[in-house]
């Protein structure tokens, strides 16, 4: 086996969409072509919407398509201690902070910024607090206030993001659960994922994730963002365009090939 490791990481909040199947196929093919490893990770941190029924549907669809994985199935929800260890490292290094702003304050912040023609993002007011308070709080990552983060995309080429446009993203919710952007970075880094091929809709997450890799001392993987599958009206494929799930094609008599 080579050092090339790719993953498919679906969220079990529904069936396997045909777009997700295509993303899985690209990752599987790249791993197989280079003699690498293809990993399946279930991103089930959304406890309110994730279901065992959806997990079963995803596994059945991937198996039917012949997209076999090489290691045990990883479940993001079982890695929470690892996620929290990394959050504590960021807090200790002053690269993250507790934010006590209420939903009302955040809403007022957004409205105020929009009224001035500014981007509606968090203004960083809790960055200046040095004491931990005895009330519910989220943890935010300290995004650099200046400079650029560059994504050398395998498909799109060089894409630059101004750090001033990125807000201090929440990495742990007030209920203690890690957010997607934090968990995905920790999981990809600790599973030694070398290449990430995913949809265009994740491109805006990439600079935030690269900054997290750097803050934690990990080398970012190679990223490639593929165009989304569109319907005949050029909008993102959805149920209104017809069948979108792999299971529906199977039921209609299509062969996996």
The residues assigned a catalytic role are 239
Three-class SS of 84-98:
HHHHHHHHHCCCEEE
3-state secondary structure 188-226: HHHCCCCEEEEEHHHHHHHHHHHHHHHHHCCCCCEEEEE
Q: Lay out the sheet containing 96-99: strands in order across.
A: 96-99, 138-141, 170-172
- Assign 174 to helix, strand or coil: coil
115 exposed, middle or buried (CB, 10 Å; 0-12, 13-18, 19+)? exposed
8 A C-beta contact, residue 97 and residue 139: yes
CB 196 within 8 A of CB 223: yes
Query: Phi and psi of 81, rounded to 5°?
Result: -60, -40
* 230: Cβ contacts below 8 Å, ≥ 6 apart: 236, 237
Helix, strand, or coil here: 16?
coil
């Amino acid at each position: 086996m080579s050092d090339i490791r790719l993953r498919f990481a679906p969220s079990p909040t529904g069936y396997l969409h045909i777009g997700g199947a295509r993303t899985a196929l690209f990752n599987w093919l790249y791993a197989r072509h280079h003699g690498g490893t293809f990993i399946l990770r279930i991103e089930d941190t959304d406890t309110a919407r994730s279901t065992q029924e959806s997990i079963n549907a995803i596994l059945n669809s991937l198996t039917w398509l012949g997209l076999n994985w090489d290691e045990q199935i990883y479940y993001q929800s079982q890695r929470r201690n690892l996620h929290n260890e990394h959050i504590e490292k960021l807090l200790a290094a002053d690269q993250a902070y507790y934010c006590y702003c209420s939903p009302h304050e955040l809403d007022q912040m957004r409205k105020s910024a929009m009224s001035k023609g500014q981007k509606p993002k968090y203004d960083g007011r809790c960055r200046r607090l040095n004491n931990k308070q005895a009330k519910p709080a989220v943890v935010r990552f300290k995004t650099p206030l200046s400079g650029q983060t560059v994504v050398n995309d395998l498909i799109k080429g060089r894409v630059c993001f101004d750090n001033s446009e990125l807000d201090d993203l929440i990495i742990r919710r007030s209920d203690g659960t890690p957010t997607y952007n934090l968990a995905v970075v920790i999981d990809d880094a600790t599973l030694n994922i070398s290449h990430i091929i995913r949809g265009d809709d994740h491109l805006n997450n990439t600079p935030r994730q690269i900054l997290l890799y750097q803050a934690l001392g990990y080398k970012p993987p190679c990223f490639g963002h593929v165009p989304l599958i569109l319907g005949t009206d050029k909008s993102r494929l959805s149920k209104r365009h017809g069948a979108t799930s792999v299971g529906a094609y199977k039921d209609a008599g299509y062969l996996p090939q």
